[in-house]
Amino acid sequence: MERYATIAGLGIALPTSVDQREVWDGYFQHQYSGPRRALAKRIFENAGVRTRQAAVSPLLEDVANWSTEQRMRRYQVEAIPLGKEAAARAIAEAGLTADQIGLFAVCSCTGYATPGLDILLARDLGMAPDLQRLFVGHMGCYAALPGLGTAADFVVARGRPALLLCAELTSLHLQPPAVRADVQQIVSHALFSDAAAAVVLIPGDGGGYAVREVAAVTDSTTADHMTWEVTDRGFRMGLSPRVPDVLAVHVRGLVVDLLARHGLTIGDVDGWAVHPGGPKILDVVGEQLGLDEAALAPSREVLTAYGNCSSPTVLLVLDALRRRAAPPRRVLMLAFGPGLTLYGTLLETSTVTA
């Protein structure tokens, strides 16, 4: 008999929301001039984002010329309470206490410190001294899925609950004026947002989604298409316009092969949690998989309401799916990031896996 880890709790924590138009009118339009301003305005208007969250809003505090050290210190200040809130909600929903968690995995690519979030939050939440911890850094937007896979493997192997936290503060990495006029930086500043999302996994049937499989494909020939470089003025995004073309080559094969291993086809999936890296990303996934707009609606709605929050974003889409009046029984999660890397995860409710 196959054994599974089941998602028993999911918690979300968000900083203050800001309006995309207000951010443009109040800050970004003043950072460009001439044709570059017109181009930037179009990018902001077509990003598919209406509101997003910012732990450090440029409308209140301009960090563009801060050193990386200053940004990392602020990361600790902002990320700890945000991560604690998301983790506590996930643990409570799972009906557990923090000291019952056996593995605490943290994914974040927007800040680093030692002791890190894994240690400080384990202390603040009251986790057990024999807790095992894992920190996953610099995997970017797809990190939630390998994190979920690792946590699920622990649960199955050890028979103990695991907690996964994804926390990102992209607002800390606003680039200096000399850099942000680059088109890739404009796109980044128009899309990215802050959030924390946590999931608790437990052994067996907990009434939630069982993690059936996590799969990946990496095209290392396109490694330069998406980058996240540490500079003296924060972390700098590199985002090639060719990213959707690479996804178009690989996404259908990843999905078809993953589903085939479970005797399934695309038509058997009734819930799609696709990382909304941007409108074009969702367009390409829809075209390659033959999905209609209803299937992609949850992902587009998350992009509109929250922006691209990097690693937590696909978990925001999963949360939206499970809160529907009729939640899907079978969910395929997809996320993409540096590598270029594509990750897919198949989830099924207990009524399907039984």
DSSP for 232-264, please give it. Answer: TTEEEEEE-TTHHHHHHHHHHHHHHHHHHTTT-
Q: At what angle do helices 68-93 and 117-125 cross, to 10 degrees?
A: 40
CB contact at 8 A, 290 and 251 = no
Task: Mark out the alpha helices in the chain (DSSP H runs).
Answer: 20-26, 34-45, 68-93, 117-125, 144-158, 177-180, 183-191, 243-260, 279-289, 293-306, 313-322, 350-353
CA proximity to 178, closest of 108, 236, 115? 236
State phi, psi for 129 to the nearest 5 degrees: -60, -25
CB contact at 8 A, 302 and 320 = yes
- DSSP annotation of 174 reads P
Is 209-353 CATH 3.20.20.70?
no
Angular region, 242: left φ>0, alpha ψ -120 to 50, beta rest:
alpha
Buried-state track 42-54, b at ≥16 Cβ within 10 A, e below 16? ebbeebbbebbbb
Q: Which two tokens stand for residue 296?
A: 């992609």
HSE value, Cβ hemisphere, 13 Å, CA-based, for 94? 32
CB contact at 8 A, 342 and 275 = no
Active site residues: 141
Torsion of CA 53, 56, 60, 61, to 10 degrees: -150
Q: Which residue has the tokens 């889409």?
A: 317
Residues 6+ apart with CB under 8 A from 211: 4, 5, 6, 7, 148, 149, 152, 201, 345, 346, 347
Domain boundaries, the chain: 5-203, 209-353
Strands 234-239 and 226-231: antiparallel
Give first-to-last CA distance, the chain, whole Å.
Answer: 10
pLDDT value for 179: 82
Q: Is residue 177 classed exposed, middle or buried when 0-12, 13-18 and 19+ CB atoms within 10 A define those classes? A: exposed
**Rounded-to-integer distance, Cα 280 and Cα 276, Å:** 9
Right CATH for 5-203 from 3.90.650.10, 3.40.47.10, 3.40.1360.10, 3.30.200.20: 3.40.47.10
> CA 40 from chain center: how many Å?
25
* pLDDT means over runs of 10, the chain (354 residues): 87 97 96 92 96 96 96 97 98 98 98 94 98 95 97 97 98 89 91 98 89 96 90 91 92 98 98 96 97 97 98 98 96 95 94 58
Kindly tell me the number of DSSP H helices and DSSP E strands found in the chain.
12, 13
CA proximity to 347, closest of 336, 334, 337, 158? 334
pTM score, whole prediction: 0.96
